Amino acid sequence: MNIIETKPVITAPYSRPRCLVNCSLNGFDFDPKGQVAFSVLSYNVLADLYARRSKYRYCPPWALVWEYRRQKLLDEIIKYDADIICLQELQSDHFESFFEPELAKCGYSAMYKKKSKELYTANKYIIDGCAIFYRHTLFIETAKYELEFDKTALPFVEALEPKLRSEGSFRLLKDNIALVAVLETLNNERFHDMFPSIICVVVSLINKLEEIVDPQIPLLICGDFNSLPSSDPYKFVVSGGCDLVDNEKHDPLGIFKGRKLQHSLHLVLLQASAYASFSVSVGVEDQLNKMDGETKEPLFTNFTRSFSGTLDYIFYTENSLRVEDLLELLDRESLRPGLPSPVWPSDHIALMARFSLQPPPIGLGHCLLQHPLKSFNKHHLDNLYDTFQGQLQS
């Protein structure tokens, strides 16, 4: 089969730029002088292998074609001008042939982690994964770690009775992955007079992440969690654990019987995620109309004809990071009948936050930013990571 690629024969539909909305906290303003500020974008770009006509019949066929969507995605991402970009559902071949070289032209370095189970389609094996791009004039990569959650879940499956292992594998082995990047700020005009600062960025949920990352390093966890705000995975991240109901409805195989799921990461507690900052901000009434008043999360981040709900989040450590601005949310009416569309190239919407690195209030402990390098030991992290990987494989 011969494929001929041409320039677009029609002008792509115009999409109104989404703007950053200031999240001023009434009565809690900080002096921004001398503080590090940076922005983070998280976006599930809908891998081409999942963009099937049978699932998105409401989207014109030409708008589902990858060559069209990839340019819309790139244009949208570049407009956001984020310092750190976290992408999910990014095919490995599209990362190598398009996004990595195109974003390199814009000053970004990249790292990528693909899933382990490749699919054979269009006469080749393809798979998606997650990527982190960072502005190389602002950050350098200090450490990188890759995690495959099937290795974490496998001991749970093997502990089941033999007759239950097949169903247990179906429930637990989902080929979920995570990419961890430890970035250090460079000494340049933007971060002038600041000590080098360490930031840990994670794509996707990390179980037992505290065994890899120093708890004093500012931490961001970004991604598509495929979990609603009412779900146990969400509660696990924001509250440090979740209670498992010991009955057949919630756990018919008894996988978690007698187990206590908890972590010691000091993630934001009073605000469930970055976008919860809207709920305590002033002058953002329009955005509050697009938020769930109970969960303090957006009404949706994934919007199709068959489903509308919040699955994507940007979590952060409240003791060391402060949300300054958030990318405005979209309303359902403007997106009907659903995503993707000729205007918006993915079935998810992008999330973006601008943070400032903050010292904790006086009396609440020592300040990492006084000299964060004293608190960061890459050799220590490497040893913890090796230990963790050994536990996964044992």
pLDDT tens track for 264-276: 655 543 335 899 9
Per-residue pLDDT at 126: 83
CA distance to 140, 245, 257, per residue, from 253 (Å): 45, 12, 9
The more confidently predicted of residues 200 and 116 is 116
CA distance to 73, 90, 141, per residue, from 102 (Å): 12, 14, 20
Share of the chain above pLDDT 70, in %: 61
- Cα Rg of the chain (Å, integer): 21
Cα separation, 277 vs 273, in Å, equals: 8
Give the chain's length.
394
Question: In this model, does residue 145 exceed pLDDT 70?
Answer: yes
- Which of 388, 273, 260 minimizes the C-alpha distance to 329? 273
Note the pTM of the prediction, 2 decimals: 0.80
- For the chain, list the domains and their CATH numbers: 36-393 (3.60.10.10)
Cα separation, 36 vs 354, in Å, equals: 11
Mean pLDDT over 8-25 rounds to 81
Mean pLDDT over 286-306 rounds to 96
Question: In this model, does residue 351 exceed pLDDT 50?
Answer: yes
Token output for 73: 């995605």
